[in-house]
Amino acid sequence: MNNQRTALLIILLLVLFCNVVHTQETVNRITIQADSGEYTINKNIYGHFAEHLGRCIYDGIWVGEGSSTPNINGYRKDVVEALKELEIPVLRWPGGCYADIYHWMDGIGPKEDRPTIKNIFWGGVIEDNSFGTHEFLDLCELLETEPYLAVNVGSGTPEEAKGWVEYVRSDENTPMADLRRKNGREDPWDVKYWGIGNENWGCGGNMTADYYADLFKRFSTFCWVPYRIAGGGGNDDYEWTETLMEKTEGNKNLIQGLSYHHYTVAHNWEEKGSATDFGPGDWDLTIRKNMEVDKMLKKHLAIMDKYDPENRVALIADEWGNWHDKEPGSRPGFLYQQNTLRDAVTAAIYLNTFNNSCYRVKMANIAQTVNVLQAMVLTNDTELVKTPTFYVFKMYKAHFDAVMLPVEVKAEKYGDAENDFPALSVSASKNDKNEINITIANVTYDRDLSTVIEIDGLDNYSVRKSEIITAGEMNSYNDFGKDEEVSISEFKGIGKEGNNIKVNIPSKSVLLISLIK
């Protein structure tokens, strides 16, 4: 009998021991190296993209001076105010695919004299070119943002590109500079960033990497600007990156950046899935594809490291985001989609990924700014909606030009057996006020995650503030005529234990924790 009791006691102790070990193993742990930062998170990682697509430019940003919609010299007033709230650092224009059919001289001079253009890529609409170079660059001055112009390589010429550079940047008595003065702008615009083509493997000309690399060098030779960005591949097209880096290795004065595009499509290009009507399976699929971006990006960066060990050429992620089906009833080709809490978590994953690779990622431009794809704001005739993604960008301003701090994440796994990844996405930085900002996404839709945050290299700190973006449902979103369902609110669930932070991170949430010495 005593032997039986002893055996039962041993079994009980083993069960308790295993439960303790399991509990210790499943506690999520984030370690921040507070004194080991080396690279700066360029604020341009929080850049935006505005293409002549759907209602992004016309009816979104630009309504014209004579519009009954409240405007500032033709720019929709509520949109300008919302974008100012984000302090957007850089704005890319006019495309996208549109860039390689756009001829800049059609968009200057008196508006009544400007020719029309058919937008063959996006809806087949006829545009009147009332929004052109002056209107875009004046918008950037109004927003206090850096402009990023995309040059027409697909259907344009080096002469046309050279003329645009001269028109925009020259302060001399040259024909194009004089034409700019004639059109009402005496001083040049100091436009630093110029993209040489866009997706030239596809809508930009269906070119091979070899052919485009030679064409890029030709165009760049005649575009004397501070920062020339070559059109890169997308997703896992490592061969394109290899070819561009190899063929420009001896001409590094011609290239300062290489673009990278990645869109997350839950299913396939024909049936992407609804932006709002989705369940756990679509959430999982979207988040898993978001998390895979880090692996793809690192492979592209490794190729760049091989050919450019001096780290002179930046990676520019100038198109990214979730791409869902258009909203029912909206016009085909306009890519108008709603924006839910799932998109907010997506934005956090991408931005954390870019932050953590900021040694070479120097700019990113979400697609797109207004009324298109994963937009910051949506508009109708009289109202404006700030999307969940808007609030992620507002929250992440804390990382602008701050020093990236190395982060180690040990978290519960999420995904399926073959494609699992940490259930937490994290990045951290320290600004010039010695504030440490930690951004965390709990990418699960149904699990609160008990988490310990270790702050190595910093003692006697306090939590200055903590904020959260979440909602009751995974597909919560903000809509016209309704109270907001998704925004930033104060988070009160922060505790301290010694030099560590203890927090139970709610499911489907994005969290900011700010520390100060």
Every domain of the chain and the residues it spans: 2-37+422-516, 43-404
Classified as helix, coil or strand, 194 is strand
Was domain 43-404 assigned CATH 3.10.129.10? no
| 2-37+422-516 CATH choice from 2.60.40.1180, 3.20.20.70, 3.20.20.150, 1.10.730.10 | 2.60.40.1180
List, in sequence order, every beta strand (DSSP E) within 359-433. Answer: 361-367, 377-379, 384-386, 403-404, 407-410, 413-415, 420-422, 424-430
Decide if 225 contacts 151 (C-beta within 8 A): no
Query: 3-class DSSP state for residue 145?
Result: coil
- Amino acid occupying residue 13: L
Residues 6 or more apart whose CB falls under 8 angstroms from that of 407 comprise: 30, 31, 32, 33, 356, 426, 427, 428
Q: What is the largest CA-CA distance in the chain?
A: 106
Q: What is the pLDDT along the chain (517 residues), one digit of tens a residue?
A: 455 554 444 444 444 444 443 334 457 999 999 999 999 999 999 999 999 999 999 999 999 999 999 999 999 999 999 999 999 999 999 999 999 999 999 999 999 999 999 999 999 999 999 999 999 999 999 999 999 999 999 999 999 999 999 999 999 999 999 999 999 999 999 999 999 999 999 999 999 999 999 999 999 999 999 999 999 987 899 999 999 999 999 888 999 999 999 999 999 999 999 999 999 999 999 999 999 999 999 999 999 999 999 999 999 999 999 999 999 999 999 999 999 999 999 999 999 999 999 999 999 999 999 999 999 999 999 999 999 999 999 999 999 999 999 999 999 998 776 768 899 999 999 999 999 999 999 999 999 999 999 999 988 899 999 999 999 999 999 999 999 999 999 999 999 988 999 999 999 999 999 999 8
Cα-based angle 52, 57, 58 (whole degrees, multiple of 5): 110
Take residue 373 and report the two structure tokens written for it: 């794809």
The token duo for 499 is: 């030099």
> Hey, which residues are catalytic here?
199, 319
Q: Do domains 2-37+422-516 and 43-404 have the same CATH topology?
A: no
- Residue 4 is given by DSSP the state H
Q: What is the 3-state secondary structure (H, E, C) of 254-275?
A: HCCEEEEEEEECCCCCCCCCCC
List, in order, residues 6 or more apart from 368 with CB less than 8 Å away: 48, 49, 50, 51, 53, 56, 374, 375
